[in-house]
Structures are given as C-alpha cells and as structure tokens.
Structure 1
Amino acid sequence: MTGVALAEELLLLAYDDETGKAAMPRISLDLGMAAAVLIELALAGRIAYAEGSLAVLDPTPTGEPVTDGVLARIAADTPHSPSSWVQRLRHGLRDRILGDLCRQGVVRDVDETELGFIHVHRYPVVNPAVEADSRRRLAEALTGSATPDERTAALATLVAVLRMEPALGVSGAAAEDARRRLTEIASGAGFSGEVSLEDSVVRPSVGLVVAALARAVDAALGPRR
C-alpha cells in the first residue's frame, strides 16, 4: 500500500487550506482519524474483527509510517474491542499525521507565538493536489451514478459519521442531500448497517469500527439533530 493514507485524506479535508487550522471539532476529528487508520488496516487485510476484538491477521508493513505504527501497536498489545481502539489511538495521532504530511511536502508547519510565550502551530497547504484528488472522488461519488471504489466509499463513510458535510462546500438543504447520499454510499459498500461475519471479515470489521466511531462522536458532540 502506497500513497496518502485514509487518515491523511480525512485530516486535509478537515483543515482550512489557508489558515491551516481545523475547521471542525478536534475531538471528533481525532476519533475519526483513529477509525480511519483501523479501516485502512482492515481494507488492507492486516486486521480483522474476531471474538469481540480487533486482531492482526498479517503483520506485514503497509509502507505508511503512521499506519504501520498502529499495526505494530495492535500486534504487541492485548486484545481490545473496536470502541476501545478508537479511543486509545486518538491521543497524539493528529500530530503524527501532520508530521507525516509535512515530510511529504503536502502541508507546512507554521510555528507562531501568542501572548509572547504560547506556541501555536498552523498547517497551511503547500501541495493542493492530494486534497484535490480526495474532493474530486467524493464529488463524483455524490453526483455520479457509478459505485465508488472501496477507498472512496470508506472516506465518504467517515465524512458522514463525522458530520463533515460543510467541508464539502455545501450547507442547508444541499448538506442534507449530501448526508443522505454519503449514508447510501456507506450502506452500499457494506460499511454500515447490519453486520454479518458469515461471508467476509473485511466489511464487517470496517462496519464495526464505523459503528464504534458513531457512538464516540455522539458521546462527544451529542446526537445529530
């Protein structure tokens, strides 16, 4: 697996390109990035849900530093449920992902001082091509009749659960329409709704992580109105 990780795509959508600041609640973004890494590993066949926990099926590195760090952590730790891993992984994950994006030259770290001693970091975009590709794929998924690929469906699912429709440049009735379409994509991909482990462990594993994320977001922000 090479290229930009799913969690990195999610972060770029959540940060304002010019100000370099998060344009959504950081608690939900942190939860979402943790879920994104778990989903990435499930789609890559590295982890799967079994007997109440997420377990490593294949410890082979994926080639993505942040993702591989999480894979090694899961392999070394005692078994935990999807909900537990979403909470455990969110701490410090954003800084690691931002650091990886800086190393790739996608964003830059602007270190500023407020009140003479408080350091505040901003991460404006340097290379907009990565985020542009993510937005293009989501736009095609929202407006097209073709079924999006698995990775785009996973990104759409995360956007829906994290209530990130405004990040797509829509509001009001258009945002409601976008949310419905994103939910349809998630359901069609098997990433939400009823979970069955009979035919495959990949989609149910993703679905259980998505369900855990939805509960965590509701607990942090309150139920969606």
Structure 2
Amino acid sequence: MTSLTQRSSGLVQRRTEASRNAAAEKERDSADEENGPRRGDEQDSDDGGDAKETRLTLMEEVLLLGLKDREGYTSFWNDCMSSGLRGCMLIELALRGRVQLEACGMRRKGLLARKVICKSDAPTGDVLLDEALKHIKETEPPETVQRWIELLSGETWNPLKLHYQLRNVRERLAKNLVEKGVLTTEKQNFLLFDMTTHPLTNSDIKQRLIRKLQEAVLDKWVNDPHRMDKRMLALIFLAHSSDVLENAFAPLLDDQYDLAMKRVRNLLDLEPEGESMKANANELLWAVVAAFTK
C-alpha cells in the first residue's frame, strides 16, 4: 500500500499529465484540420494492426513502458523487471505455438508443478526467444515455469545451471527497439561512469501502446479474461509484475485511474488454476501468472 503522501503526489502527477495531454491533443486536432488526416491515424487499428516493422514483442512492450522517455533508461529501483521479462519470453513462445505445459495425466498436477515442453523448435525470428527456446528444447528432464523464470534470470545457486542465464536482456531489447525506429542510442555521463542510454524517438508507438492498455481496462473492458485478447491480457499481468503498469495509467484522470486499477485488481485476484481449465485458455500463460501471484 502506498502512503498518503505518495498517493497525493500520484494524483498531482496524473492531473499534470492529463492537462498536458489534453493541450497536446487540442494542438494536434488543430493541425489535423489544416493538414488533413495523418497517415499514422489511418494505419492505427483497434486490434494492433501496426506496420510489420513496428510490431513489438511482449518483452519490448514491457521494456518500453518502463523506459524513461528522455533519459532512455529504466528506474534504478525497479528490481522486478528482470523476472518479468523472462515471464514475457515464456508467454510469447506459448502464444507462438513453440512451448506448452506437459499433459496433466490421471492425477491432475497444479500449474506450477507441470513441466514446460517444446512443442516446435521452428525459429521465431527473435534472437532472445530462439535462445530461450533452445534451452527449453535441450533440457532433460524438463523444468517448470517458475524454475525457467529463475534460470533465465540467473537466479540459481547451482553453478552448472548458470549457462541458462540470458545476459544483457534489457540492452538487447533496447537495440531491437532502436532497429525498429522506436528508440535511439546515446552516451550519458553519470560522474563515475558512462552509460549507454536509449531515449525515445518515436512517441507515437509508445502512446499507441499506452492507449491500448488504457482502453483494455476502460472503454473495451469485457469483465471476462477469456474474452480478452490473450496478448493484451498477458501484457497487463506482466506489466504489473514488472512494476511498470502504473506508467501507462499515470496520465489518466483520477476517476479513470481508480476504475482502471480496480479492474486490474479484479484480474490479479483471479485463481489461475481455475482459469486455466476454462475453454480456449492458454495454460502456460496462467502458469506464468501463478508464478508471479502465488
């Protein structure tokens, strides 16, 4: 629970952001009347039909939500994103049909007790995903979702398991976003050391992502996770687990913010075991949710 002081600060921040966004929107509307509709608006669609070169993976979306626009780096105090990004990888592989949970068997196992198995080793086109998939395919005996999140993060005391760690994940994801024209690369001096940063250059893509998140829990809320787009459902869970969901809701007005967070809380209060047994549910997605909410 946040303190009253933090809460008040958050409300002031959201009011400031909302006012700034309203002024910017008014200015854009005036420009549209003079110049006609923008090409970006024509291409934008409700189902995420962005141009192919700007489609983002779940890992890239979570990182983009966590990056400071001008500074080009994530909060130094965020110790949740590392495991959150590994959860993104597992769900991304599951949504692409590369991995799944093992069959339940006669005695139904819980989600966190079931092993992750390789369903297809076809390349995904993403180096990080292919690296994680290679580990999952070659590991015998198979590991559980929770164990894979730990191994891919390097959180193990077993020196024989350290080779599973995916290194420099944030930097590699940032470079992917640079190649997609979303970020740029700069060097910043922090007194004692220099650090490579990746400031935002294409604000339209990030604003589109934030708008989709906001609409998912406000205008397009369906009150049933199984009627939601699976990628959007996963993004909400993973953004929360990575402690960056607040960044998407900060520009909202107070009543909208409260409603959005109430609905997110409703999702977080769901029982993953029960949800995974419903029709058309992605079991591995709910296993990752269980790993973060247990």
Q: How does 1:190-209 map to 2 (within 5 A)?
A: 193-195=272-274, 203-209=282-288
1:88 is aligned to: 151
Secondary structure of the residue that 2:79 maps to in structure 1?
helix
1:112 & 1:95 partners in 2: Cα distance?
A: 15
- 1:42/1:48 contact within 8 Å kept: yes
Q: CA distance change for structure 1 residues 120 and 33 in 2, over 3 Å: closer, same or farther?
A: same
Q: CA distance change for structure 1 residues 177 and 25 in 2, over 3 Å: closer, same or farther?
A: farther
Identify which range, 173-182 or 30-39, moves more after superposition. Answer: 173-182
1:196 & 1:151 partners in 2: Cα distance?
A: 16
- 2:188/2:194 contact within 8 Å kept: yes
Are 2:169 and 1:130 equivalent residues in the alignment? no
CA offset digits 1:134-171 (Å, max 9, x no partner): 11211111212454422111111212333434212439
2:131 is aligned to: 69
1:180 & 1:160 partners in 2: Cα distance?
A: 13
Q: Which amino acid letter does the alignment assign opposite residue 84 of structure 1?
A: R
Secondary structure of the residue that 1:26 maps to in structure 2?
coil
Q: Alignment partner for residue 67 of structure 2, among 11, 15, 18?
A: 15
- 2:188/2:195 contact within 8 Å kept: yes
C-alpha root-mean-square deviation of aligned residues, in Å? 2.8
CA offset digits 1:23-72 (Å, max 9, x no partner): 37432011111101111111111111116211110111222332222212
Q: Alignment partner for residue 196 of structure 2, among 97, 110, 121?
A: 121
Q: CA deviation at 1:197?
A: 6.2
Q: Which amino acid letter does the alignment assign opposite residue 188 of structure 2?
A: E
Q: Alignment partner for residue 151 of structure 1, among 192, 208, 231?
A: 231
Secondary structure of the residue that 1:27 maps to in structure 2?
coil
CA offset digits 1:81-140 (Å, max 9, x no partner): 111111222352222212222222221222223335x22122111122332221121111
| TM-score, normalised by the number of residues in structure 1 | 0.79
1:24 & 1:164 partners in 2: Cα distance?
A: 13
- 1:197/1:204 contact within 8 Å kept: yes
Q: CA distance change for structure 1 residues 70 and 129 in 2, over 3 Å: closer, same or farther?
A: farther
Q: How does 1:34-53 map to 2 (within 5 A)?
A: 34-50=86-102, 52-53=114-115
| TM-score, normalised by the number of residues in structure 2 | 0.62
Q: CA distance change for structure 1 residues 157 and 24 in 2, over 3 Å: closer, same or farther?
A: farther
Q: Which amino acid letter does the alignment assign opposite residue 157 of structure 1?
A: F
Identify which range, 35-44 or 76-85, moves more after superposition. Answer: 76-85
5+ residue gaps, structure 1, are: 216-225
Q: Which amino acid letter does the alignment assign opposite residue 83 of structure 1?
A: Q
Q: CA distance change for structure 1 residues 129 and 207 in 2, over 3 Å: closer, same or farther?
A: same
Q: Any runs of at least 4 consecutive aligned residues in structure 1 with deviations exceeding 6 A, and if so which?
A: none
CA offset digits 1:174-197 (Å, max 9, x no partner): 655433312445678xxx532476
- 1:59/1:72 contact within 8 Å kept: yes
1:63 & 1:185 partners in 2: Cα distance?
A: 31
1:140 is aligned to: 215
Q: Percent identity?
A: 24
